[in-house]
Amino acid sequence: MAPFSSQDSDFEARIRESFGRLNLMMTIGARLLTVAPGEVEIDLPFREDLTQHHGFLAAAVLTAIGDVACGYAAMSLMPPGATVLTVEYKASFVAPARGDRMVARSRVVRPGRTVSTCIGDVFAVTDDHEELVATMLATMIQVGGEREEKTPPEHGSHRERGAGHRERARPWCVCRGGGLRRTLRQITGARP
């Protein structure tokens, strides 16, 4: 796979600064290791207070570092000023998460102008041995930034359907007029 290039020459500093403000990552003790165009690596030392009832690192913690790594991998390819929101992710847990530390490695599989798809793997690391414990497929949406975009139809616009029948477009519907993009912008207060 050919390496990606970033639209923002200052992407690494922007991502590191943003990561430093993430209260959840500070709370659990996660550290941002590697930032490259389309790739991010996050490290988390194993902590007993983050385990579930069997003594393995909790699934919520694994998905948190995987999700953040995927988000920043996607953000690394976006224009200056852009941030991301997670649209969805699917995580599979393939082994118990126990080791000296966990490492989440993510990479962009398909960057898009608005939506990007990423893969994140979380490994349990003991000494020099790594074992895959979780894998994630995530979809990220760009919020803000300096991209050009077509103006979406107005909220509540009408469209023709059949002989003289007019149907009101549903703003929440993904299949009609960019509804997902518009709804997320309304939620976040972001401007196109």
DSSP the chain: -PPP--S-TTHHHHHHHHHHT-HHHHHHT-EEEEEETTEEEEEEE--GGGB-TTSSBPHHHHHHHHHHHHHHHHHTTSPTT-EEEEEEEEEEE-S---SSEEEEEEEEEE--SSEEEEEEEEEEEETTEEEEEEEEEEEEEEESSS---PPPPPTT-EEE-SSS-EEEPPTT-TTSTTHHHHHHHHHHT---
**Residue 115: inside a domain:** yes
Q: How many domains does the chain have?
A: 2
* Statement to judge: residues 182 and 109 lie in one domain: no
- Amino acid sitting at position 116: S
Query: Domain limits at 170?
Result: 158-188
* Statement to judge: residues 19 and 94 lie in one domain: yes
Q: Once rounded to an integer, what is the mean pLDDT over residues 20-25?
A: 96
* Statement to judge: residues 123 and 165 lie in one domain: no
What pLDDT shows up at residue 189? 61
Q: How confident is the model at residue 91 (pLDDT cuts 50, 70, 90)?
A: very high
* Statement to judge: residues 170 and 77 lie in one domain: no
Domain of residue 97, CATH code: 3.10.129.10
Nearest to 138 by CA among 97, 184, 92: 92
Here the tokens at position 138 are 């995530």
* Statement to judge: residues 167 and 131 lie in one domain: no
What pLDDT shows up at residue 170? 46
User: The whole model's pTM is what?
Assistant: 0.75
What pLDDT shows up at residue 159? 47
Q: Once rounded to an integer, what is the mean pLDDT over residues 71-75?
A: 96
What pLDDT shows up at residue 150? 46
**Residue 30: inside a domain:** yes
* Statement to judge: residues 133 and 170 lie in one domain: no
* Statement to judge: residues 90 and 171 lie in one domain: no
Q: How confident is the model at residue 187 (pLDDT cuts 50, 70, 90)?
A: low
